[in-house]
Amino acid sequence: MFLTIDLAFIIEKLILIVVVVSASLVIAMYATFAERKVAAILQDRRGPNRAGPFGLLQPLADGIKLFFKEEIIPNFSSKALFILGPALAMLTAVMTSAVIPWGDKVHFFGRDISLQIADINIGILYVFGVVSLGVYGIMIGSWASNNKFSLLGGLRAASQIISYELAMGISLIALLMITGSLSLKEMVLQQQAGHWNIIYQPLGFLIFLICAFAECNRTPFDLPEAENELIGGYHTEYSSMKLGFYLFSEYINMFISSVIMATLFFGGYDMPFVNEASFSPNMAALIGIAALMGKVVMFLFFFMWVRWTIPRFRYDQLMHLGWRILIPLALFNMLATGGVILYFHK
C-alpha cells in the first residue's frame, strides 16, 4: 500500500494538537481553582490555600482525589453508554479548539508554522456543529444512569441547549453579514486591520454571551444540575473520575467559549494600539497569544463573577427568556444589521 504523506506537516500538526489540547486542559484545571478563589473573595473567605504556595497545587490534589475514589457503576445501567457519556462530553469540549487561531504564525527551523490546527473556510459553522453535539454526552450519560433524576437533568439540558442554539445562530448570522467570511482566521485579520466586531454588533454580542452561558450550563442557567430539585442532575449516579470528566468538561467549555467570544467580537489575538508588524514574527505571535489569553481570562472571570452573584432561573423563566426575548431580539438585530448594510452599501 502506498500512502503519500507530508511527514513534516503531520509532525507539525501533531505537536500543535498536543500543545493546544494540553494547554486547554491546564487552563481548565486552573479555572476550577480560580472559581474557588473568586467565590471565596466574593463571599469574604480565604478559599483553598493549603496545597502548595497560595493553594496553587489544589487542582492537582482534586484530580488525584477523584482518581482514587471508588468507581461505582449502577447495576441496571447500560455499561457501554455509561462510560461513553463522560467521554463524549470531554471529546466535544476539546474538539472545538481545532479551528481557533491562537496567534499568527511562528518561524521555527526554517518553517512558517501557523498557530491554528486547521484553517477551514467554514470555521464558525464547525464550532457551531461541535457545540450542538455537546448535548449528547449529557443525554447519553443521563439515560444510561437509569435514574429518574438523571434523566430529568439530561432532558433539561437537551431542551435548554436546543432552545438557546437558535438565538445563538441568528446572532451569528448578523455577525457573518458584516464579516462576509466564515473563517475565524479571516475574521481576526479583518478586525486587526479595522475595528473590533463588538463596535458593529453590541446587541449580537450580548445575545451570544447569554447563549454561551446557557450552552455551558453555567449559573444562572445550570438547571440540568440543580441540586435542590434534582440531587446532582445528570451526573447523580457518577463517581470517581467519570464525575470529574463531567465537571471538568464544563470548565473546558467555558474556556473554549471565552476564546470564541474573544475571537469573534474582541479581535482574537489582536493586541490593541500595537502594530504587530513592527516586531519579529515570533515576538508578534507571542504578543498575540498573550493578548488572546488576557481577553480569555477576563471572560472567565466574568463567568465566575456571574455564577456567584446571580441566582438560578426557574425553568419556565429560562424558556421564556430563550424563546420570547432572545429570539425576537436576535431577529431584530439581524434585520437592523441587514438594513444598515443595505443603506450604506458597505
Partner 1 sequence: MNITTLAFFLLSFIAVGSAIMMITSKSPVHSVLWLIVVFFSISGHYILLNAQFLAVVNIIVYAGAIMVLFLFVVMLMNLNAETEPIKNYRLQLIGVLAGGALLLVLISAIMRIDVEQVVQMKTGDAGLIKVLGMTLFKNYILPFEISSVLFLSAMIGAVIIGKKD
Residues that bind partner 1 (CB under 8 A): 1-5, 78, 81, 120-122, 125-126, 128-129, 132-133, 135-136, 139-140, 143, 151, 154-155, 158-159, 161-162, 165-166, 182, 319, 323-324, 327-328
Task: Please report how close the Cβ of residue 32 comes to partner 1 at its closest, in angstroms.
Answer: 28
Any idea of the CA torsion for 167, 170, 171, 173, to the nearest 10 degrees? 160
Q: Which is nearer to partner 1, 5 or 277 (CB)?
A: 5
Task: Please report how close the Cβ of residue 66 comes to partner 1 at its closest, in angstroms.
Answer: 27
Taking CA atoms, 99 is separated from 57, 121, 150, 323, in Å, by: 31, 10, 33, 30
CA distance 206 to 149: 32
Task: Please report how close the Cβ of residue 261 comes to partner 1 at its closest, in angstroms.
Answer: 19
Q: Which is nearer to partner 1, 70 or 316 (CB)?
A: 316
Q: Which is nearer to partner 1, 139 or 271 (CB)?
A: 139
Task: Please report how close the Cβ of residue 165 comes to partner 1 at its closest, in angstroms.
Answer: 8
Q: Which residue has the cell 472571570?
A: 301
CA distance 170 to 332: 10
Say if residues 179 and 334 touch (Cβ distance below 8 Å): no
Closest residue by Cα to residue 253 from 167, 133, 125: 133
Taking CA atoms, 158 is separated from 135, 292, 307, in Å, by: 6, 31, 21
Say if residues 227 and 233 touch (Cβ distance below 8 Å): yes
Task: Please report how close the Cβ of residue 148 comes to partner 1 at its closest, in angstroms.
Answer: 10
What single DSSP character describes residue 311?
A: P
Task: Please report how close the Cβ of residue 278 comes to partner 1 at its closest, in angstroms.
Answer: 34
Q: Which is nearer to partner 1, 61 or 331 (CB)?
A: 331
CB atoms near residue 80 (< 10 Å)? 10
Q: Which is nearer to partner 1, 296 or 327 (CB)?
A: 327
Q: Which is nearer to partner 1, 75 or 275 (CB)?
A: 75
